[in-house]
Amino acid sequence: MSESESASQQPEAEEQAGERHHQRLLSIIPKQRPLRPDPSGRYFINEAQHDSTRLAARMIPLAAPHLLASLTNLLATAPPSLPWSGAFAKGLYCGLFVGPTSIAYLFLWLSKTHPDLLIDGKSPADYCAAYLALDQDKYGPEETNRSGCSLNHEFMCYNAVKACHTQDLRYVRAFVDNIDKLTMRPAFIEVLFGRAGLLSLMRTVKYFVPAAGEILDPHVDAVIEHCLSYDPWTFGVRPDHQKRYIGAAHGDIGIIASIVLSNASYAPRVQPRLERILALQLEDGNWPACDDDDSEKKGEELVQFCHGAPGMIWCLVAIQPFFPDLRDRIEAAVDKARGVVWEKGMLTKEPCLCHGITGNALTLTEPQRSHFLFYATAGIVKNGLADGAFEKSSDESGLWWSEAGRAWGWMMMDYEQSGRGNSLRDIGFPGVTNP
């Protein structure tokens, strides 16, 4: 029986066991010093770097109770009911990024990885359905000034996730019929607001609804060709302020990953762009946010999923099998990148996937991964937000910036702990490197 199955049968007992385990861990830490931020304020000084006792004291032998605690908190903070409780942008739904559809996407994945998990007698599939029934159909198909065309576009994400959940091809058709109408920002290629995000949504639909492949494949190739027709890729809301971002959320590595994971035959076409990214790695293992930004002072680069080494690792691990010629270079780059994540990746922002401890932890291997995730456990997050050690996110439930993202991390860790595979490849970052 897997941990998840036992958790599903006795959620309260497991939760208490998790809490006891957590208290025990705290009690054996030799000297409990508060976390000290680096002078930049961006990250906490990682004292375990030179202190193996601290490192050993903060292992997470069982992710399952933490998954359950996180989901329980999520359901309490942002229940699947109206009016929607979300605080981000006055409760605006933003696809896989923030809002109920982003939480539905978490439960969609849990319905695959943890189908037997029950909370209050309901399964992940039940919760997926509940989070998809919150008036999403009030969001129209048009592209607006702030929607972009993909991961942040409620209509596109809703139809993609609804198709996965129901297996109903009508939602797939609603999705593809709208692709050619999203003409407002054709130069947006990055995953969050741009065309590459459409690729990952279509990939998800094909993954959960194999019969949709026939409908989607021509659109996948057309979107890839559209992406490749822009060189270099740039991003910026203002047309006169475009930057050559290279990170996972707004730049080249996320685009490259989404193209190759959608159709591996395009790998040779993007290989030169990938080689350029590898060449831009800095001495300390990190990457600058942009290819063209020499004003960025050394040592001030961001170390998070959206910009910097963590996002590079998520993407490079996922795409490495498609670039056999670059295998050694990619492995060396990932190893070097893990060094800077370990040193500067315990971020002071609220633990989350996009720019927080959870997203950074998953780029590391054990025991470093556990050490980071210790700081994303429920009690530490709660206390850290209350005493100001963590900087509160502007969203308190969604997938990229808050609790649903923490649950996503626990889902991945439990998947690995129960010996089911490599979670960076088999599950990935939602909307970017998912298979």
Residue 435 preceded by cis peptide, ω within 30: no
Closest to Zn ion by CB, 86 or 308: 308
Within residues 248-307, the interface with Zn ion by CB under 5 A covers 306
Residues 122 to 161: which contact Zn ion by CB under 5 A?
none
Q: What's the farthest any 2 CA atoms get from each other in the chain?
A: 60
Q: Locate all alpha helices (DSSP H) within 29-168, ordered by sequence.
A: 52-57, 64-77, 100-113, 124-131, 154-166
Nearer to Zn ion, 114 or 355 (CB): 355
Are 422 and 362 within 8 A, CB to CB? no
DSSP string over 329-346:
HHHHHHHHHHHHHHHH-S
Query: Minimum distance from CB of 307 to Zn ion (Å)?
Result: 7
Residue with tokens 């291997």: 365
Tell me, by CB under 5 A, how many residues bind Zn ion: 3
Q: Least distance from C-beta 302 to Zn ion, angstroms?
A: 8
Q: What are phi and psi of 243, to 5 degrees?
A: -125, 150
Binding mask 363-392 for Zn ion (x = CB under 5 A): ------------------------------
CB 192 within 8 A of CB 204: no
Cα 420 versus chain centre, distance: 19
Q: Which is nearer to Zn ion, 200 or 418 (CB)?
A: 200
Least distance in Å: CB of 291 to Zn ion?
A: 19
Closest contact distance (angstroms) between CB of 139 and Zn ion is 23
Q: Which is nearer to Zn ion, 309 or 354 (CB)?
A: 354
- Residue nearer to Zn ion on the CB measure, 285 or 405: 405
Residues 292 and 243 sit within 8 Å (Cβ to Cβ): yes
Tokens 């004291």 appear where? 57
Minimum CB–partner distance for residue 6 and Zn ion (Å): 34
* Amino acid in the structure at residue 253: I
Minimum CB separation from Zn ion for residue 230, in Å? Answer: 23
| Residue 290, phi then psi, degrees to nearest 5 | -130, 155
- Residues 6 or more apart in contact with residue 357 via CB below 8 angstroms: 345, 346, 347, 351, 372, 373, 375, 376
212 vs 249 by CB, closer to Zn ion: 249
Give the Cα separation of 238 and 206 in Å (integer).
Answer: 34
Structure tokens at 385: 């937000």
x-or-dash string of contact with Zn ion, 76-115, rule CB under 5 A:
----------------------------------------
Neighbours of 25 (CB within 10 A): 16
432: contact with Zn ion by CB under 5 A: no
- Ranges of beta strands (E only) in 183-229 are none
Annotated binding residue at 354?
yes
Least distance CB 103 / Zn ion (angstroms): 18
CB of 301 to Zn ion, least distance (A): 14
Q: Is 306 annotated as a binding-site member?
A: yes
Which of positions 303-342 make contact with Zn ion (CB under 5 A)? 306
Which runs of E-coded beta strand occur in 266-378? none
Give the separation between CA 163 and CA 341, rounded to whole angstroms.
Answer: 37
Compute the least distance from the CB of residue 406 to Zn ion, in Å: 14
363 neighbors 337 (Cβ within 8 angstroms): yes
Structure tokens at 120: 């209050």
- Residues 154 and 94 sit within 8 Å (Cβ to Cβ): yes
Q: Under rule CB under 5 A, which residues in 212-251 are in contact with Zn ion?
A: none
CB-wise, 4 or 286, nearer to Zn ion? 286
Nearest CB to Zn ion, comparing residues 11 and 311: 311
Of 368, 394, 392, residue with least CA distance to 382: 392
Residues 336-365 that bind Zn ion (CB under 5 A): 354-355
Closer residue to Zn ion, CB minimum distance, 306 or 326: 306
Please compute, for residue 179, the number of CA atoms within 13 A of its CA located in the half-sphere on the CB side. 24
What residue numbers does the annotated binding site cover?
306, 354-355
Interface contacts to Zn ion, rule CB under 5 A: 306, 354-355
Q: Residues within the annotated binding site for Zn(2+)?
A: 306, 354-355
